[in-house]
Amino acid sequence: MRSLERIRINAKALGSAKRHRGDLFSWLGRRPQILAAVGVYETAVLLSNKLDPTLKDLAELKSAGLVNCEFCLDIGSAIATHSGVTAQQIRDLPVYRDSDAFTELQKLVIAFAEAMTSTPASSETLAELRERLLAQLSRAQVAELATTVAWENQRARLNQSLGVRPTGISDGAACALPE
């Protein structure tokens, strides 16, 4: 049931795009095999639902903010809002450590996303955060979180390199900012 809700939320967000709808497709359409592979991976991540969607969305937004992908922040903020992430949490992502808007688990997930997105990634930091996550989440949930963050890094960097612009999905609502 969670998968169907995630599909509905994503479709609603994409359907509310106001401008620049075809930026990514105009590039990837030239390489159909890559477009197909991206679609398959996007679907696999979307349908993986062992982890609370709110945690995945917070991790994705943190990664997108660190990479500075305005398109990812635009669509990600809309999706996160529909998944239960509050406007305060979206605004407080850059200062999550000191914010009362997040639970301890949410802060740990955001820290993990931050460590995975940092260049270079620190093996020691990631190992410590992974062990702390495993005290609260299953191995399948941690694997899903790591996959989600890694995919957001790929997605955000691809969008940045191809000049994919924000589409206005979050216009008038809380939207995460680049860090």
pLDDT of residue 82: 84
110: tokens are 């955001």
Task: Tell me the mean pLDDT in the region 141-168.
Answer: 92
Q: Are 45 and 150 in contact (CB under 8 A)?
A: no
Nearest to 128 by CA among 116, 140, 120: 116
172 vs 8: which has the higher pLDDT = 8
**87-140 per-position pLDDT tens digit:** 999 999 999 999 999 999 999 999 999 999 998 888 899 999 999 999 999 999
Kindly report whether the peptide bond that precedes residue 120 is cis, defined as omega within 30 degrees of 0. Answer: yes
54: tokens are 């709110």
The answer on pLDDT for 170 being more than 80 is: no
**10-65 per-position pLDDT tens digit:** 666 666 656 667 777 788 889 999 989 998 998 899 889 899 999 999 999 999 99
pLDDT of residue 73: 87
Q: Domains for the chain: give ranges and CATH numbers.
A: 2-162 (1.20.1290.10)
DSSP state of 86: -
DSSP state of 100: T
The answer on pLDDT for 172 being more than 60 is: no
Q: What is the pTM of this model?
A: 0.88
Task: Tell me the mean pLDDT in the region 52-80.
Answer: 91
Give me the amino acid identity at 20.
H
Q: How far is CA 108 from CA 79, 82, 127, 134, in A?
A: 21, 22, 13, 11
Q: Rounded CA gap, 174 and 85, in Å? A: 10
